[in-house]
Amino acid sequence: MRDTSIRTLRRHARSAFPIIGLCALLLGCASIQNAPVNQPGSSADLAGQLHESSEERAATDDDLVGLSFSGGGTRAAAFSFGVLEEMAQTSVRGGGASMLDRIDFISGVSGGSVTAAYYGLRRRAALTDFREKFLLRNAEEGLQTDLNLATLGKAFAGGINDSTGLPRWLDANLFHGATFADLRMTARPRVWINASDIYNRTPFVFGVTAFGAMCSDLASYPLANAVAASAAVPVAFAPVVIQTFPGRCKDPLPAWIVKARDNRNAPPMLSAFAKAVSRYHDGEIPYIKLLDGGLVDNYGLSGFTIALLSASKPYEPLSPQRAVKLRRGLFLVVDAKTGVAGNWINAVEGPSGVDLVKAAANTAIDASVGAGYTAFERTMNDWQATLIRWRCGLSAADRARYGARPGWNCRDLKLLVGRIGFDQLDPARAARLEAVPTRFHLPPQQVDDVIAAGRDALRASPAFRAFTGSM
């Protein structure tokens, strides 16, 4: 009887070893490094620089161009890069200028934020080396990208990769110490990098508004860290942390934040953003936790939309001089998102494990992008109507002061909105492109296929053709 009991105990002990080992593994791998790197300070000076840059742009063109680059890893970065290359080859009037030189605003999410930030930093020079410095490189080197027994502990602790690996790689290979001060040194384009505030469930736009509210210095914040936050896929990456410094500066909340926060009828996106920024300012949130911007806005339209909805003047975010001269505007969403995939639809079981996590994330992202795009179209149509009313209501003195030309027509204004995606190419090619993985390491042939697709999709875009034709 005693021997039987001993054998039973041994058998139970052997069966418990894997569980004990797994628990030890989880505890041993649970240390996540994600200390905040932002510094206290005031963003008031940088806000003044941004205002001056806007005024400098106002003196030149009668057109306005904005781009938003979606998420999707290197695939998204390559697709948006192809769009920029094609714009560089599209001539417009004005002494050898191209469409590339007309870009005023770029917004980026996840993989698209890499292209947006690098182009905003180096402008035309970015086209000469971005393919070699990023698209053909393995940004996942040194990272663990698979969920397995070896990485399960860190996944449960907050993320398989902490917030040091990807920023370090991006800085060493692409940004070389560049900060937002370097990004803002050029008047054009203005760049928004978008992440997701997972506590407030709102977009987090790296800009003067959020950093000013938290009494932190945007100018010194590394571009590599902002891009890494924008691309921090849940589970694969731990959240990027931003510290708030309430009371360390005297910057008041912008009036439009207070108004949107307290107005029960404010647009939902603007209201949620304003409430989040107020919490940063009041010290209610000591640490902001950021993940992939695609979780709340995979098209990267938040920066555009919030800028328009928060405007206190009809012409904002433009200067009145620019708004009077404006005749044509083009806003393009460069969409490299994932198509439907998975073989678990062929059985009663599934999805499970990693497939379940991916399916849930893709469902959340795709469910929001269509509504977000429709809302943005409506916002742009409303802004066009508002601009026309304001322009037509100007006095003769104001028209002269703002630089209206002889024969100026206050109603001569058209804002075009378009989306560029794989699905707008022929079906076989679209299927091939949608099968390209959304990770940060792709074979050279796939990279070049996606770049070519970006060029071809831009040429085929009805909105782009109408805009260039009107010029």
Report, as residue numbers or ranges, the catalytic residues: 110, 292
As given in the structure block, the two tokens for residue 8 are 């039973």
For residue 169, the SS3 value is helix
How many of the other CB atoms lie within 10 Å of CB of 283?
13
- Distance CA(454)–CA(442), nearest Å, equals 16
CA angle 275, 277, 280 (to 5 degrees): 115
Beta strand 202-205 pairing with 190-197: antiparallel
Q: What is the dihedral of CA 427, 433, 88, 466, to 10 degrees?
A: 30
Residues in CB range of 349: below 8 A, 6 or more apart: none
As given in the structure block, the two tokens for residue 455 are 């060029």
DSSP 123: G
Can you say whether the dihedral through the CA atoms of 19, 23, 28, 29 is positive or negative? positive
- Distance CA(467)–CA(64), nearest Å, equals 10
Q: Which residues pair with 333 in a beta bridge?
A: 68, 419
- Distance CA(102)–CA(218), nearest Å, equals 26
DSSP 109: E
- Distance CA(264)–CA(460), nearest Å, equals 42
Helix (H) or strand (E) holding 303: helix 302-309
DSSP 222: B
Q: What is the dihedral of CA 383, 386, 387, 391, to 10 degrees?
A: 180
